[in-house]
Chain A
Amino acid sequence: MRALPPLVVIIIFFFAFPLIGLAMSAFTATWLSLSLVLAAYAEECIWGGILSLPRGQAEAARSTGLTWWQTMLYVILPQAFRIAVPPLTNRVIAISKNVALGSVVALSEVLNNAHSATSNAGNPTPLTMAAAAYLVIFIPVILAARRLEARWQWKI
């Protein structure tokens, strides 16, 4: 999933799956593809977080009598998540921006509607508005992500 362009995944879901009897709406296709892609990246980020923890953490937790699951749940994952926050927020932003790809399969999101409106009006103002809309949505997200990263930074 990390090697496949998201647009290819969306197009396969939307244009290819109906031919084997698995038709889905543009919304489902976009949603499903982007979720799968994000899941692949999230796995990578969190795995990286887990790997970067010293082994002693798990060993110490096990030696206090916690089971493997308890160790994961109470000791390893809380620390790993913190380490994984910066790459994860980047990924989440990247994937949300990919929602614009839905316009290719005629999902009526901002870009697609703006594009049709531009053809109807013979004037590109709707496109400018769409671009502005994306900025209004995503600049706060980027700023929030920066704050989250700063707050959750793992201080050693």
Chain B
Amino acid sequence: MDAILHNFFNIGVFQEVLPYLLQGLLTTVGLSALVIPLGLAGGLFVALAGTQTENRLIRVLIAVYVDVFRAMPPLVLLIFIYFGFPFLGIELPKLLAVALGFLLNNASYYGEIFRAGLLAVPQGQMEAARSTGLTRLQALTYVVVPQATRNVLPDLIGNSIEVVKLTTLASVVALPELLRVARDAQSLLYNPSPIVLAALIYLALLWPLVRLLSRLEHKNMVGRH
């Protein structure tokens, strides 16, 4: 018991590393605030390109893009961008490499979610909007996309939670986000309490969102009958 307290819940260590971890938390939150809107925008674009065009070639290209990036583990993508691109003479700063990797990965996930949402909006909505004199773009912006977003809101929230958790991958390329800071503190102090504290911070950050998500999902499901 003492060993557990000393190693996992060492109050002295907690106090010592808390400022650093909060710094790391700030980076994690900032990174999420950067990559989630980027991913949402990219995903919406992918979904619109995939559903609103009759062009077979574009549709096939979009399907290939989505499948490839859904099949590729984000860590592989990130390492490929960060450690592979420099060989081509393209040396990206850490933040940019991470943002690019996440954009490519998330756009495919969000794209798939938005696609499901767009397909669930009845065709008549678009036709009715067009017949009132809205242009196609206006009809999409004001009529179809808002309904599609609403259809898949729980999935969007769920994926965003996944994205926040994925930001831990940035630790691999030494971007000083929460997990990285905690690991550095752990090796300096030779005590794993900082990682436990980081885990607690992640819990505090994400648990309310996970609960909210569960409620949204179950409300939808139970309401069906």
Which of B46-54, B127-135, B200-208 has 4 or more CB atoms under 8 Å from chain A?
Answer: B200-208
Tell yes or no: B153 within 8 A of A by CB.
Answer: no
Tell yes or no: A32 within 8 A of B by CB.
Answer: no
Give the interface centre of B168, B186, B205 by most chain A CB atoms within 10 Å.
B168
9 A–B contacts from the bound complex (CB under 8 Å):
A3-B161, A4-B165, A16-B7, A48-B221, A52-B224, A97-B74, A118-B84, A134-B71, A135-B68
Cα(A103)–Cα(B203), bound, Å:
24
Check if B168 sits within 8 Å of A124, measured CB to CB: no
* Shortest beta-carbon distance from B197 to chain A in Å: 11
CB contact between B76 and one of A4, A51, A134 (< 8 Å): that residue: A134
Check if A16 sits within 8 Å of B8, measured CB to CB: yes
Given contacts A115-B79, A128-B80, contact A8 B224 (CB under 8 A): no
0/1 per residue, B1-28, Cβ < 8 Å to A? 0011001100000000000000000000
Check if B166 sits within 8 Å of A100, measured CB to CB: no
CB contact between A16 and one of B68, B83, B167, B195 (< 8 Å): that residue: B195
Check if A48 sits within 8 Å of B218, measured CB to CB: yes
Interface residues of chain A: helix, strand, loop or mixed (majority): helix
Cα(A7)–Cα(B165), bound, Å:
8
Check if B225 sits within 8 Å of A54, measured CB to CB: yes
Interface size class of B (residues with CB under 8 A): 35 or more
With A12-B199, A48-B221 known, 12 other A-B pairs at CB within 8 A are A3-B161, A3-B203, A4-B202, A5-B166, A97-B72, A118-B83, A127-B83, A131-B77, A134-B73, A138-B72, A139-B68, A142-B70
B196 surroundings in chain A (CB, below 8 A) = 12, 16
CB contact between A100 and one of B8, B70, B75, B165 (< 8 Å): that residue: B75
A6 surroundings in chain B (CB, below 8 A) = 165
CB contact between A5 and one of B165, B183, B186 (< 8 Å): that residue: B165
Q: Which residue of B lies closest to A140 (CB)?
A: B71
Tell yes or no: B67 within 8 A of A by CB.
Answer: yes
Q: Which residue of B lies closest to A136 (CB)?
A: B71
CB contact between B192 and one of A16, A51, A137 (< 8 Å): that residue: A16
0/1 per residue, A97-139, Cβ < 8 Å to B? 1111101100000010001001000011001101100110111
Check if B79 sits within 8 Å of A111, measured CB to CB: yes
Check if B80 sits within 8 Å of A21, measured CB to CB: no
Check if A20 sits within 8 Å of B4, measured CB to CB: yes
Tell yes or no: B169 within 8 A of A by CB.
Answer: yes
Check if A5 sits within 8 Å of B210, measured CB to CB: no
Cα(A155)–Cα(B98), bound, Å:
42
